[in-house]
Amino acid sequence: DVKVTQSSRYLVKRTGEKVFLECVQDMDHENMFWYRQDPGLGLRLIYFSYDVKMKEKGDIPEGYSVSREKKERFSLILESASTNQTSMYLCASTLLNTEAFFGQGTRLTVV
């Protein structure tokens, strides 16, 4: 069974904290993605990576950074969490032109 695993289902963090969201896939996929999902806004792309150490900004990268030191792991970093980053975060991985597989999501609350 293919798997994309996100490190936490629920997180509560304080404003100003540095937050790490981890995503690991076991399918040897080159491409990995981070999205956030907010009511009425669908899935919005934050960052993606098409290879180790490579990263590209998505549509809403402000306030976020990413790290991909190993092929199977893609980390999303909130340098200084703010309340407007309260959201559901989804990680996905894929090969070009094949279906994407998603993690179970991390619901982050910033208080």
The site for another protein (CB under 8 A) is made up of 31, 33, 35, 40-45, 48, 50, 56, 58-59, 90, 92, 94, 96-105
Distance CA 96, CA 98 (A): 6
- Considering the complex, state which of residue 54 and residue 111 has its C-beta at the smaller distance from another protein: 54
Shortest distance (Å) from residue 99 CB to another protein: 3
- Considering the complex, state which of residue 48 and residue 64 has its C-beta at the smaller distance from another protein: 48
- Considering the complex, state which of residue 50 and residue 73 has its C-beta at the smaller distance from another protein: 50
User: What's the Cα-to-Cα distance from 75 to each of 7, 41, 46, 98, rounded to whole Å?
Assistant: 10, 23, 12, 22
End-to-end CA separation in angstroms for the chain: 36
Shortest distance (Å) from residue 15 CB to another protein: 28
Shortest distance (Å) from residue 108 CB to another protein: 16
**DSSP conformational letter for 71:** T
